[in-house]
Chains A and B, each alone.
Chain A
């Protein structure tokens, strides 16, 4: 048994050469119970610890156990913007993994396959074939009792050798992950890992690989997490201590984290009987004077709509997280779609203006969540955070937040209120007096009925108009304070790509590639979607064409949901749509194909998957 001790493995005498890589896309394809997410997670965290950039892409079947699953990790020493259009390395555990994913391997890419399960077409000379008896060697290493349980760790060892990864850091991660379980689990993990690391691939591959030294050495430490974790910890950093929800994929991991974490901060998270109870309970905590939240995915957001309307009417601060998935109805629970935008902005009966924001990557999940909390409190309004399935499961590394600077302390303001206190003043922002507040004058009633300044029900038309205007104008005030988003790429030119949410990375990469190919192209990403920031017209005016890239349907009239809103808001014919609904994140070349088609034709829209 060889147990490597040096931090960077050096192939010994007569070994193949080492090729330096800027970045690599590694796709692991197997079944969901094989623990390939574990390999991917280790690689992602290792990259984070090594000051490298990393982005992962994961698909999971919605079935309880079993079914094909992939985890793709792109790690590199430069800025990693997307999970990659093509894989440089494919690890295939089964014949179906090979057959489904070989088309994703780039020409000249390396196929690593389990010779115990996969019979590849060795005549296909486009790829480098590297067959390893993964199953057999794992059983041999761990002994029969563990069966093939350690296959993932064997592959991790193999990859560690192949990419000259920092073995001491990997071993530390393995110990952190399995160390708390019984000793056999950790022992077997190391046995399998070491066997994979010791396996000689010299006969099969011409070279080993190593990542270039990162461009950001000695920068602040990086944290590695997925988008849902970033939202959960963003809520905590923003001072949110109370919440309630009902489980639904892909939202659930946030409530799991908060249920465990909030009590450590003196708070409480309640699992409710349904979505209606969840939003209602969260509103109860908000009425009681706390910064409070609820969350869900598409179907759950639909169910919360009536109570959300109450929050608008009663001017109650609330943060609502919505992890979008494919819809409508139960739809595609484990796929990505950006089709809840209209529901987030306009769901609920009546004129019910609320705030909608959408984080652009995992790091933004943290910071924009904090901003959502700030807005909810300052404007006494519900704020919806629109994330999506892709962000929820995507692992990225980012600079550890400077908590000293940004951490918000929760405040429960029960200071006595004077004679002149009004719950709903027309001339200033609503600031509720939560229960427990001694009142000099009348005690306040918060209400979903239209009301006067004192909270008394009224059907007076003039008051209804004034109060409607009040609820609308505070969002206009917010809009005036929002930063105008930065334009990346050419500052004027032919095409401006506009995006929102998780498409940020692929659009940015598309613009870089487009510019490299001589196009005059730029990218504008909207994080605050309702209200929109002021100052977008002058930006749109600098481009001949504006294409809105979204993962939703082109609709009856040829435009995606954000495109529809922007066309209504700015009345610009040059705003057109690039859409798709295949349940997957955008590939860079899909965006570039959309740009090519729309630029050359007069069609209103480009959908990758029309009709059918």
Chain B
């Protein structure tokens, strides 16, 4: 990555202590702590120049993330973190943009933006920490709350069919889609690394338990609580009979089949394709447009326009 700033001294490796900021305000035992811890570990491994890391969020418990990472960060409004992050990414291709949010921010108030950010393939990584409940406002129904779940807004049990996050993401046109679980730190780090390496709109749904308002929500995928954590096995291309059984992440139909599995489902990369990102396409448009005006100084481009308006 090109850097616009001279860095004379060799950089010290980026350590966790450089990356921690305010102490998280989450409830003790919240799954989000592990999501944060694995993000630190990913950053230690990735060694992105410190000033190029950007952490953004909307509103919700998980959206407090930016305060807990010592990086350039922004806490925007409810549901609009994706367009905000798109503005950062599209105008500053030298940065690495990470967006954190919850299921309400992503699938409810911000659903439309998720869809369009994904189809435009804007270069950023979006982490949806799904706890299937509104926690910050103290237990109302969320778009991923299962039928029958009792909340303060559905005291007799929710009856609106929940969003299937992986199917919604597949339909949105996102070019990297993965799923992880807050009880699996190594798996989360792996997903972060793959998402970060992807050029385009990468999104990870992480099931992250709300111990206060929906305890045990994702126990079915926690082995030490008797559940099963099944990882998606990706094709290796080794031509073995076993490989034929493995998942081809460029196969959307196969990805939909994984998304349709009953809870607790499977975890890993569901889908990945590599069309050009909007960042690349916009850069091409700029290059062509600059070519057309013969790389003239800005003042001369405008002068030329005015000359035609005489």
Contacts and interface: CB of A to CB of B under 8 A. Distances in A.
Contacts of A224: 309-310
B74 A287 contact: yes
Contacts of B86: 270, 277, 281, 284
Contact of B77 (A45, A268, A306, A403): A306
A310 B87 contact: no
A421 to B, nearest CB: 12
A273 B75 contact: no
B77 A310 contact: yes
Interface in B211-244: none
Contacts of B289: 263-264
A403 B307 CA distance: 12
Contacts of A445: 21, 66-67, 73-75
Contacts of A263: 282, 285-286, 288-290
Nearest to B64: A457
B298 A265 contact: yes
A185 to B, nearest CB: 19
A128 interface: no
A266 to B, nearest CB: 6
Interface string A255-280: 00000010111111010111011101
Interface string B8-42: 00000000000001100000000000000000000
Interface stretch (A72-80, A332-340, A446-454): A446-454
A434 B72 contact: yes
A436 B22 contact: no
Interface in A418-442: 433-439, 442
Given A223-B306, A224-B309, A263-B289, A285 B90 contact: yes
A290 B83 CA distance: 16
Contacts of B285: 263, 268
A541 to B, nearest CB: 43
Nearest to B79: A276
Contacts of B84: 280-281, 283-284, 287
B92 A404 contact: no
Given A265-B298, A283-B87, A285-B87, A435 B80 contact: no
A447 B74 contact: yes
B95 A288 contact: yes
Interface stretch (B49-57, B134-142, B159-167): B49-57
B250 interface: no
Contact of A233 (B52, B95, B282, B305): B305
A237 interface: yes
For A176, A267, A307, A445, the residue with the greatest tally of chain B CB atoms inside 10 Å of its CB is: A445
- What is the predominant secondary structure among interface residues of chain B facing chain A? helix
A49 to B, nearest CB: 6
B88 A435 contact: yes
A601 to B, nearest CB: 47
A66 interface: no
A529 interface: no
A224 B305 CA distance: 11
A414 B292 contact: no
A68 interface: no
Contacts of B112: 273-274, 277
B70 A223 contact: no
B38 to A, nearest CB: 20
Contacts of A448: 75-77
A409 B80 contact: no
B51 A435 contact: yes
Given A264-B289, A277-B113, A438-B5, A236 B75 contact: no
Contacts of B282: 263, 268
A359 to B, nearest CB: 18
A276 B83 contact: yes
Contact of B302 (A229, A237, A412): A237
Contact of B72 (A268, A436, A457): A436
A399 to B, nearest CB: 11
A443 interface: yes
Nearest to A415: B5
Contacts of A407: 298-299, 302
B308 interface: yes
Nearest to B77: A310
B308 A176 contact: yes
Contact of A221 (B82, B85, B310): B310
B293 interface: yes
B154 interface: no
Contacts of B67: 445, 456-457
A267 B115 CA distance: 25
Contacts of B82: 277
Contacts of B50: 438-439, 443
A354 B255 CA distance: 48
Contact of A272 (B116, B292, B301, B302): B116
Given A263-B285, A436-B52, A288 B87 contact: yes
A264 B301 contact: yes
Interface string B233-274: 000000000000000000000000000000000000000000
A415 B293 CA distance: 31
Contacts of B21: 442-443, 445
Given A268-B91, A285-B87, A288-B92, A442 B70 contact: yes
B168 to A, nearest CB: 16
A48 B308 CA distance: 12
Nearest to A445: B73
Given A438-B5, A438-B7, A280 B301 contact: no
A444 B298 contact: no
Contacts of A278: 83
A443 B116 contact: no
A151 to B, nearest CB: 26
Contacts of B286: 263, 266-268
A443 B76 contact: no
A242 interface: yes
Given A242-B91, A400-B306, A435 B72 contact: yes
A236 B302 contact: yes
A287 B51 CA distance: 14
B71 interface: yes
Interface string B79-112: 1101111111111101100000000000000001
A456 B72 CA distance: 13
Given A223-B310, A437-B72, A287 B301 contact: no
A222 interface: yes
Given A274-B112, A435-B52, A436-B95, A443 B5 contact: no
Given A263-B286, A448-B77, 15 more contacts: A244-B83, A264-B289, A268-B90, A268-B285, A272-B83, A276-B79, A277-B80, A400-B306, A403-B299, A407-B302, A443-B71, A444-B73, A448-B75, A448-B76, A457-B67
Interface of A: 45, 48-49, 176, 221-225, 229, 233, 236-237, 242, 244, 261, 263-268, 270, 272-274, 276-278, 280-290, 292, 306-307, 310, 314, 400-401, 403-404, 407, 409, 412, 414-416, 433-439, 442-449, 456-457
13 contacts: A224-B310, A233-B305, A242-B87, A263-B285, A276-B80, A277-B113, A284-B83, A284-B87, A284-B88, A403-B299, A415-B5, A436-B72, A436-B95
